[in-house]
Amino acid sequence: MIKLSSSKDLSRLRRLALSSQGLLQTQPFGRGLAGACKAVNHLGYVQIDTISVVERAHHHVLHSRVPKFDPSMMNKMLIEGDIFEYWSHAAAFLPIDDFRFSLPYKHAIKSGQTHWNKNPDRQLMAELLERIRTEGPLRSRDVETKVSNRAGWWDWKPAKKALEQLFMEGDLMVKDRVGFQKNYDLTERVLPSTTNITMPSMEEFVTHMVNQQLRCHGVVSLKGLTYLRRNTALRNAVKSLVNERLAQGTLEQIQLSSGDVYFIETGALERRLPNLSNRLQILSPFDNSVIQRDRLKHLFQYDYQIECYVPEAKRKYGYFSLPLLFRGEFIGRMDCKAHRKIRLLEIKSLHLESNTGQQGFDDDRIINAFMEAIDSFRQFQQCDSVLLTAVNPKRLTLPLQSRLNAL
């Protein structure tokens, strides 16, 4: 076991974690549509989220890693069969090459395991499936046809539940999205013919999970490897595989000063890692690099919580604060909202951590890095101007406002 005892060692471990996420390199996956495809394949998933105070999470994650990414590319990848929509630890876009690893969960849902719907309406599901088979793709909002042997009209809520159940069981896939509305079609009409549809064994599934996490995170824990997965047999199998690789010498343990233990591929810390730059990144609250909050706190000493689900009076940083990454550290957070009709990006609160100055940063360097980042971010939000309301520390208010007014 390697015990990290110095800030230099910890910094290198952080660089391994961030470079595995593609957050230190300028264009680790390339540019545009091709880069977006490679990014999803590398990351293993991109989480879908409904909140749209700024550009939605699944677009934001790729914007942070792929120059020239445009939100329309996500739907294009879906239509062209490069990715598919299903459930990871949450709703997500996944690489089509990983389709077979969605089959165990689909089988479990079809066999009676509950996802959301405890009492699926099998008759309604059969009617919807037949309608899609004969009439083509369908959105829940399109269900308006009266059906024989059923009283009244289909209500959108039961129809939506039934469509989602068919989707979770694998009979339907999302063909594309119209706006943010799912457009469902039969799996056999959506899935590319070359897709591997072999049910993976437990061994194959666990190997895939561990390899994927090592690839896209670099630094992993047992808890993180089975993040939000409740299957006891799966969790035990992951633990057994990790122990097997430790015994083989292909994995090694890292113990942080806090006592927390992580795993890396043997020799990973000796690899050539990207250098740190003065590029500041504004990340999504659902970014792959921050989604495991315990890991974020252990590795980066960054205590982060999204507060949109917290009562307003109890919020500390704002409704939808975005993590700020700079030179291998999370240095603050920014709560903002894109007012799209007037093309204004409002920064409601910009908060930099109190220890920022101890990390060798100075005001000018932070301001310059932030200005470059916010200019790119406001263009991504399709905004022409930026309004700054509050800053901590307050000494940065006037310099930042002056620079923002000049955009």
pLDDT digits (tens, 9 = 90+) for 106-124: 999 999 888 878 889 999 9
Q: Is the pLDDT of residue 374 over 60?
A: yes
- Residue percentage of the chain with pLDDT more than 90: 83
Give the mean pLDDT of 21-40: 97
Phi then psi for 82, rounded to 5 degrees? -80, -30
> How far apart are the C-alpha atoms of 369 and 344, rounded to whole Å?
21
**Is the Cβ–Cβ distance between 304 and 77 less than 8 Å?**
no
> How far apart are the C-alpha atoms of 385 and 59, rounded to whole Å?
21
> How far apart are the C-alpha atoms of 259 and 342, rounded to whole Å?
50
> What pLDDT is recorded for position 154?
39
Give the mean pLDDT of 352-375: 81
**Residue pLDDT, tens place only, 213-259:** 999 999 999 999 988 787 899 999 999 999 999 999 999 999 998 89
> What pLDDT is recorded for position 55?
97
Q: Is the pLDDT of residue 151 over 50?
A: no
Give the mean pLDDT of 310-327: 95
pLDDT band at 153 (very low <50, low <70, confident <90, very high): very low
> What pLDDT is recorded for position 145?
46
Q: Is the pLDDT of residue 355 over 90?
A: no
Q: What contacts 30, CB < 8 A, 6 or more positions away?
A: 38, 66
> What pLDDT is recorded for position 353?
87
**Higher-confidence position of 95 and 8:** 95
pLDDT band at 359 (very low <50, low <70, confident <90, very high): low
Which of 109, 108, 125, 131 has the alpha carbon at shortest distance from 163? Answer: 125
Domain with CATH 3.40.630 in the chain: 305-405
* CA distances, 180 to each of 183, 261, 350 (Å): 9, 40, 29
**Residue pLDDT, tens place only, 260-279:** 999 999 999 999 999 999 99
Which of 281, 282, 212, 286 has the alpha carbon at shortest distance from 58? Answer: 286
CATH code of the domain occupying 305-405: 3.40.630
**Residue pLDDT, tens place only, 93-103:** 999 999 999 99
For residue 372, give the amino acid letter: E
pLDDT band at 147 (very low <50, low <70, confident <90, very high): very low
> What pLDDT is recorded for position 2?
87
Q: Is the pLDDT of residue 357 over 80?
A: no
**Is the Cβ–Cβ distance between 280 and 361 less than 8 Å?**
no
Domain with CATH 1.10.10 in the chain: 122-190
At 155 the three-state DSSP class reads: coil
Cut 0.85: pTM above it = yes
**Higher-confidence position of 114 and 47:** 47
Give the mean pLDDT of 13-42: 97
Q: Report the CATH architecture of 122-190.
A: Orthogonal Bundle (1.10)
Q: What contacts 134, CB < 8 A, 6 or more positions away?
A: none
- Residue percentage of the chain with pLDDT more than 70: 95
